[in-house]
Amino acid sequence: MKNNLKTALKELQFIATTTDCWTAYRRGFIGVTAHWIDPQTMTRCCAALACRQLKGSHTFTVLASALNDIHSEFNIREKITRTTTDNGSNFVKAFRVYGQTDENNNLAAESGKVDDGVEDEYDDEEKDSTESMEFVEAGAILDEDDCLEYQLPKHHRCACHLLNLVSTTDVEEANNNTVYKRVSRSTFSKCWSLWNKSARSTTAAEIIEETCKLQLLRPNAKRWNSLFLAVERIVRIAREHGERAIAAVCSALKIPMFTPVELAFLSEYAKTMSPVAKALDVLQGEANVQMGWFVPTITLLKTKLQHLHISSKFCRPLIDALLAGLEKRFGQMLKDPELIAAAILVPKFKTCWTSDEQIIKLGLDYIKSYLRDQTVENQGESSHSSEEEDFFSAIKQTRSQEKC
């Protein structure tokens, strides 16, 4: 199987990879997958490259070494266009130190200026202080790592994970509003009482199903939009069977009842978070979604939230926090010419996903520049002119384009 996979990858020109590390049964693992477009059928293909045990702390050097070995084993190191990871500080530092960089490669993310709200218990080296100055021997400097020990491709942070951080970490800023904080905490405390009761007692689950004709969904920390789905289920029950059904369940389970204001808050919360959950579903698509869907999805999400802000009664602080989080985590990416060009080249979107002419110009200029470079490169390979003519070929190309 490995030899067949190597043979298949050998024929490809471009490959993207994803990687993650985790701990299970007191052992650490790293997994790597490869993704590519079949040049004959133009369909997306994928394969698992490795699932290996990592020994010791999952520091950035350990991750870089493992990834470098896997890429070298399959002879794809020069073919990888991007490697996508989550936002753990160990992965971020591994690609910041050993990865390829350019001016359009996740600028804010790679510079480490974005606070992810993610702590990495394995990366102790991130905690080193750089504020103090220390004199060292010249020999020690020469012995330091010159960042050439490992070679990693360009890095891309998982957009779904970033969006999850927006909807779980950044939304905490909404609690700075005292009214929102009071209503939110009282409402969700009653929700959790209901969810815990239904999950721990079969009798409670039977009462809920008999009264509401539906079971409740309990939020799962590993499913990014599970809180929204759980709230949406309560709202659906209240809408289809009336507030009396919710009150009857609370009374039977002997938990505090929801007030009309709290039920109205839940309804508005579900309406507010619905675009975020749908954006997550879109970006997590397996078959049709590609890099070109990223910028239109986040741009449209911001537009939908701005429209909801006008009619919102309880959740304006939440919307403000969501918009601020989107700008903090995606602001630089939404101005990336390469990502904008990818969106323009998708027939579904073209240039209709934004009215900002400057954004469209960035993408079109990137496409023109890429085509120009490809034309010059092809001409250079096929031309048998003298060195002098070859040297001035760029000027001739520019003139011919101006005439057109």
For the chain, the structural domain boundaries read 2-122+145-157, 164-335, 357-398
User: What is the pTM (predicted TM-score) of this model?
Assistant: 0.79
What is the average pLDDT across 195-224? 87
Residue 31 has pLDDT above 90, yes or no: yes
Residue 66 to residues 93, 151, 204, 370, 398: CA-CA distances in angstroms?
14, 11, 49, 33, 46
Measure the CA–CA gap between 18 and 35, rounded to whole angstroms.
8
The pLDDT assigned to 321 comes to: 96
CB-based burial label for 212 (10 Å; 0-12, 13-18, 19+): buried
Residue 113 has pLDDT above 60, yes or no: no
What is the average pLDDT across 82-100? 90
Measure the CA–CA gap between 335 and 358, rounded to whole angstroms.
10
Do 193 and 183 touch, CB atoms closer than 8 A?
A: no
What is the average pLDDT across 76-87? 91
The pLDDT assigned to 273 comes to: 95
CB-based burial label for 74 (10 Å; 0-12, 13-18, 19+): buried
User: pLDDT band for position 48 (50/70/90)?
Assistant: very high
User: pLDDT band for position 399 (50/70/90)?
Assistant: low
Residue 208 has pLDDT above 80, yes or no: yes
Walk across the sheet containing 27-37 and list its strands.
Answer: 44-54, 27-37, 15-24, 80-85, 155-157
What is the average pLDDT across 24-28? 91
Residue 131 has pLDDT above 60, yes or no: no
- Please state which of the ranges 9-13, 72-76, 381-385 shows the lowest mean pLDDT: 381-385
Residue 210 has pLDDT above 50, yes or no: yes
What is the average pLDDT across 365-394? 69
Residue 309 has pLDDT above 50, yes or no: yes
User: pLDDT band for position 382 (50/70/90)?
Assistant: low
**Average pLDDT over all residues of the chain:** 83
The pLDDT assigned to 132 comes to: 42
Q: Which two tokens stand for residue 141?
A: 């400097």
What is the average pLDDT across 76-96? 91
Q: Which residues 6+ apart lie within 8 Å of 187 measured at CB?
A: 258, 262, 265, 266, 269
Measure the CA–CA gap between 350 and 292, rounded to whole angstroms.
10
Q: Within 99-177, where are the H helices?
A: 107-110, 138-143, 159-168
Give the number of C-alpha atoms closer than 13 A to the C-alpha of residue 272, restricted to the C-beta side: 25
Between 120 and 197, the more confident residue is 197
Residue 318 has pLDDT above 90, yes or no: yes
The pLDDT assigned to 223 comes to: 76
Q: Which two tokens stand for residue 121?
A: 């218990």
Q: Which residues 6+ apart lie within 8 Å of 182 measured at CB?
A: none
- Which of 82, 214, 216 shows the shortest CA–CA distance to 153? 82
Q: What are 179-204's pLDDT values in tens digits? A: 999 999 999 999 999 999 988 888 98
Do 193 and 250 touch, CB atoms closer than 8 A?
A: no
What is the average pLDDT across 363-387? 74
Residue 270 has pLDDT above 60, yes or no: yes
Q: What are 351-360's pLDDT values in tens digits? A: 999 989 999 9
Do 150 and 98 touch, CB atoms closer than 8 A?
A: yes
Between 100 and 216, the more confident residue is 216
The pLDDT assigned to 345 comes to: 93
